[in-house]
Amino acid sequence: MSQIKLTYFDIHGGRAEPARLAMHMGNIAFEDCRISHADFAEVRKSTPFGQLPTLHVDGIQVTQSDAMTRYVGKLAGLYPTDPFQALLCDEVMSAVEDANIKMGPTYSMTGEALKEARTALVNGPLTMYLRWLQSQLQAHGGEYFADLRLTIADLKVFAYVRGLNSGRLDHVPTDLVERLAPKLNIHMQRIANTPAVAQYYAKFGL
């Protein structure tokens, strides 16, 4: 078995959360290296693009969160083997990542600039992505996004919706998902109630 180390911020969410969940669900041993934001300036010096997460597999550093999630998803049996179902899984993951990228620049903003940028996202791209994700969920059975079972696409959407609902994103209404795409909240609860996922968060008292 390969030695795996995942490095990311000490938060329960974000780009590393789907990979963390997949490895837990697949009983894959890994080092869960969690750093503080204060340590990031130093840690980023050792990463190719100055960003996290990173994954070390037998000492070899890998970047790009979706690539990491796909890799551990395959190890955990949470990635479709059928090429078309894999395509549907990848499509959803890439859409969520596009939404994350659009949100990215706002994390360095404050005051009115932050309010204006987040409000524009809520009224534009976030509305588009949430409605599209709900339509994809409904189009593929209503419970999961691909393969008629839980895959890493579900874990990616779960982490994303959970973040939008959390209240940690200033100027993003906590009822945004419920108003625009309520079936995504039902999906989020379905994933949260999956025994392995519930067990994972119970370890942290969540």
Domain containing residue 143: 83-193
Instruction: Among 77, 104, 129, identify where a domain stops.
Output: 77
Distance of CA 36 to the CA centre of its chain: 19
Q: What is the pLDDT of residue 205?
A: 87
* Phi/psi at 143 (5° precision): -110, -40
32 and 51 both lie in a single domain: yes
**Any domain includes 39:** yes
Is residue 201 in some structural domain? Answer: no
Mean pLDDT of 7-33: 97
In a domain, 37, yes or no: yes
| Tally of domains in the chain | 2
What average pLDDT does this structure show over 185-199? 97
Q: Which two tokens stand for residue 191?
A: 């994933």
Residue 1 has pLDDT above 80, yes or no: no
Domain stops at, among 77, 98, 115: 77
**What's the chain's average pLDDT?**
97
What are the helix (H) ranges across the chain?
A: 17-25, 40-43, 65-76, 83-103, 111-123, 125-139, 152-165, 176-180, 182-192, 195-202
Q: What is the mean pLDDT of residues 76-102?
A: 98
